Amino acid sequence: MSSLSLKGIRKSYGSLDVIKGVDLDIKAKEFVVFVGPSGCGKSTLLRMIAGLEPITGGDLNIGGKRMNDVDPSRRGIAMVFQTYALYPHMTVRENMGFALRFAGVAKDQIAKQVNEAARILALEPLLDRLPKELSGGQRQRVAIGRAIVRHPDVFLFDEPLSNLDAELRVHMRIEIARLHRELQATMIYVTHDQVEAMTLADTIVVLRDGRIEQVGRPLELYDNPANQFVAGFIGSPK
């Protein structure tokens, strides 16, 4: 349950400025949702927070520590992607335990953490199956399970439900809300789905072309979008 602070965060690829100075404070246990058009920099921001992408400028603090140059494995963060690339030849149990095994965690401790995550996600009956024997929603639950077993302080979700059909998205949205209550972790969640944003978020951050356009509680943004652009994502139809 770490707080995060982004100060003047920038990212350039060569001469292309992609993130142009982002300031944002996120409280411990807060559920923050990023929305914005394709290409505005949502994934880039998450990848910088996770340490998967070097930060060009500014300060990133997690849990009060400067993290700009800290190894991804030491940031207390786990990321869940849109395409849940499970290892096809490993069972659910092995997929969930892999990162821990890789990190040298003892076998019985791995078993304990995998069983706990499986309980939280109702994956217990599926632990010995292979990914190809699972539905899309079950696979995505395994992907979330892989994040949970690491006991991160911060979860980053990059459009985790956009490959699922509408019915399953609703179900998984409720699951993620429950997960947030149960784990009491800080969560940053990228989505295109206005309903997901409105129902999951404590705070919504609207991004546009590498900058923050508006930050607020869902109903604040819904009732008082700063401009047409924000209204297009989250505002009430006028």
Please give the residue ranges that form the binding site for Mg ion (CB under 5 A).
43
18 contributes a contact to ligand ADP by CB under 6 A: yes
DSSP H helices in 121-217: 136-148, 166-183, 194-200
Per the document, the length of the chain is 238
Q: How far is the CB of 231 from ligand ADP (least distance, A)?
A: 19
In terms of CB distance, is 43 or 186 closer to ligand ADP? Answer: 43
In terms of CB distance, is 47 or 150 closer to ligand ADP? Answer: 47
Tell me the two tokens of residue 210. Answer: 């590498």
Grouping H, G, I as helix, E, B as strand and the rest as coil, residue 105 is coil
Alpha-carbon span 131 to 187, nearest angstrom: 26
Q: Which does 123 bind (CB under 5 to 8 A by kind): Mg ion, ligand ADP, none?
A: none
Q: What is the largest CA-CA distance in the chain?
A: 58
Instruction: Identify the H or E element spanning 101.
Output: helix 92-102
Q: How far is the CB of 201 from ligand ADP (least distance, A)?
A: 17
The stretch near ligand ADP (CB under 6 A) out of 11-19, 99-107, 163-171, 181-189 is 11-19
Q: How far is the CB of 159 from Mg ion (least distance, A)?
A: 6
Alpha-carbon span 207 to 205, nearest angstrom: 6
Interface with ligand ADP (CB under 6 A), residue from 30, 42, 148, 179: 42
197 neighbors 176 (Cβ within 8 angstroms)? no
In terms of CB distance, is 11 or 93 closer to ligand ADP? Answer: 11
In terms of CB distance, is 80 or 92 closer to ligand ADP? Answer: 80
Alpha-carbon span 232 to 219, nearest angstrom: 14
Phi-psi label, residue 182: left if phi above 0, alpha if psi -120 to 50, beta otherwise = alpha
The stretch near ligand ADP (CB under 6 A) out of 37-45, 93-101, 109-117, 131-139 is 37-45
Q: Which of residues 172-231 bind ligand ADP (CB under 6 A)?
A: none
Q: Which does 164 bind (CB under 5 to 8 A by kind): ligand ADP, Mg ion, none?
A: none
* DSSP code, position 33: E
Q: Which residues contribute to the site for ligand ADP (CB under 6 A)?
A: 13, 16, 18, 36, 38-44
